[in-house]
């Protein structure tokens, strides 16, 4: 058996189409503000991609590029200003931040109604209380990907490997809200394979290349590989790979590729979150 490929591109296009349609129905264009600190090459590339895709989806987008040594009060002042600005609907601070800028302080300084990354403590609480709010983009993107391909969640056994606030925890909360029976595994979990073999739906966000091998997967399971790693092949050529060993494709019923699986969903979901935030601020929805 070879697993069905859960490609991100068609599912991301569906989300982008929805974002474009809902943005066009609003009296003003939703405006996303992207804040980047320093010159980290990955952050530069992520912010550039988010800015470009926001414009392509018919949103307004503004990038605030701050110097590496920006003081915490200056960053918090910018967040205060944007939080109070009725023309700013979504605010995202690109992570990681330099060590002198504590992410928790920065995340708590954004108006939760504009927190399109879903990291504000109020939005984290709402997610776990099963209340509407803004949830983290990669986690929402994973659920949207599974739904796009008709993967059932209600009543199924879902195992999440990883408990980071960015991926593992929020995806576990969303799976619970979708009526899955959820287990969260982490570094202290003994016999990881025993836990993962129980999964009908296995989400792997551990940041460890090829951690999950074929013997750790229940035959027919749906496997989502969130990990992304740049490895160097035998000839010195770089290639991207995930947390899931390629041999899992022989056992799983469905599997996301790396690259081209979860990756495209994250930005598409960010734009949908921005539209959702704008709708709520403009009184067009209950969220």
Q: In the complex, which residues of this chain contact ligand NDP (CB under 6 A)?
A: 138, 161-164, 166-168, 185-189, 192, 205-208, 211, 226-228, 262-263, 266
Between 145 and 153, whose beta carbon lies closer to ligand NDP?
A: 145
Between 224 and 249, whose beta carbon lies closer to ligand NDP?
A: 224
Consult the annotation and say whether 48 binds a ligand. Answer: no
Catalytic residue at 94?
A: yes
Consult the annotation and say whether 142 binds a ligand. Answer: no
Task: Give first-to-last CA distance, the chain, whole Å.
Answer: 43
Q: 79-85: which pairs have CB atoms within 8 A and are 24 or more residues apart?
A: 79/35, 79/106, 79/109, 79/110, 80/109, 82/33, 82/110, 82/114, 83/109, 83/110, 83/111, 83/114, 84/111
Burial environment of residue 62 by CB neighbours within 10 A (0 to 12, 13 to 18, 19 or more): middle
Between 42 and 237, whose beta carbon lies closer to ligand NDP?
A: 42
Q: Which of 107, 111, 115, 117 is catalytic?
A: 117
The answer to whether residues 269 and 137 touch, using CB atoms and an 8 Å cutoff, is: yes
The whole-angstrom separation of Cα 130 and Cα 58 is 31
Between 90 and 170, whose beta carbon lies closer to ligand NDP?
A: 170
**Could you check whether the bond before residue 148 is cis, i.e. omega within 30 degrees of 0?**
no
Q: Which of 53, 94, 269, 281 is catalytic?
A: 94
The whole-angstrom separation of Cα 182 and Cα 137 is 19
CB of 27 to ligand NDP, least distance (A): 32
CB of 161 to ligand NDP, least distance (A): 5
Question: Cα angle vertex 190, ends 212, 198, to 5°?
Answer: 55
Between 164 and 285, whose beta carbon lies closer to ligand NDP?
A: 164
Tokens at 228, concatenated: 């992304």
Catalytic residue at 269?
A: no
Consult the annotation and say whether 163 binds a ligand. Answer: yes
CB of 261 to ligand NDP, least distance (A): 8
* C-alpha dihedral (211, 216, 217, 219), degrees to nearest 10: 150
Can you tell me whether residue 61 is helix, strand or coil?
strand
Q: Which of 50, 53, 243, 281 is catalytic?
A: 50
CB of 142 to ligand NDP, least distance (A): 9
Residues labelled as active-site residues: 50, 94, 117
Annotated binding site: 162-164, 228
Annotated binding site for NADP(+): 162-164, 228
């Amino acid at each position: 058996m070879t697993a069905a490929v859960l490609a991100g591109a068609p599912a991301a296009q569906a989300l982008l189409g929805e974002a474009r349609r809902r943005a066009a129905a609003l009296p003003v264009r939703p405006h996303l503000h992207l804040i980047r600190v320093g010159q980290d090459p990955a952050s530069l590339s992520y912010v550039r991609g988010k800015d470009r895709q926001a414009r392509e989806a018919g949103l307004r987008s503004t990038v605030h590029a701050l110097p590496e040594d920006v003081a915490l009060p200056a960053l918090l002042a910018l967040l205060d200003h944007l939080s109070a600005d009725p023309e700013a609907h979504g605010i995202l601070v690109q992570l990681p931040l330099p060590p002198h800028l504590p992410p928790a302080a920065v995340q708590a300084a954004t108006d939760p109604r504009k927190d399109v990354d879903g990291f504000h403590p109020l939005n984290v609480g709402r997610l776990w209380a099963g209340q509407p709010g803004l949830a983290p983009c990669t986690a929402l993107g994973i659920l949207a990907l599974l739904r796009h391909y008709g993967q059932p969640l209600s009543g199924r056994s879902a195992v999440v490997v990883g408990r980071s606030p960015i991926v593992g925890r929020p995806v576990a909360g969303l799976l619970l809200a979708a009526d899955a029976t959820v287990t969260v595994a982490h570094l202290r979990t003994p016999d990881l394979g025993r836990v993962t073999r129980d999964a009908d739906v296995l989400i792997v966000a551990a940041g460890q290349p090829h951690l999950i091998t074929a013997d750790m997967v229940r035959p027919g399971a749906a496997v989502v590989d969130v990990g992304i790693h740049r490895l160097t092949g035998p000839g010195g050529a770089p290639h991207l790979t995930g947390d899931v060993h390629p041999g899992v494709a022989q056992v799983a019923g469905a599997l996301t590729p790396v690259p081209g699986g979860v990756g495209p969903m994250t930005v598409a979901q960010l734009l949908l979150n921005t539209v959702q935030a704008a709708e709520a601020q403009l009184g067009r929805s209950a969220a």
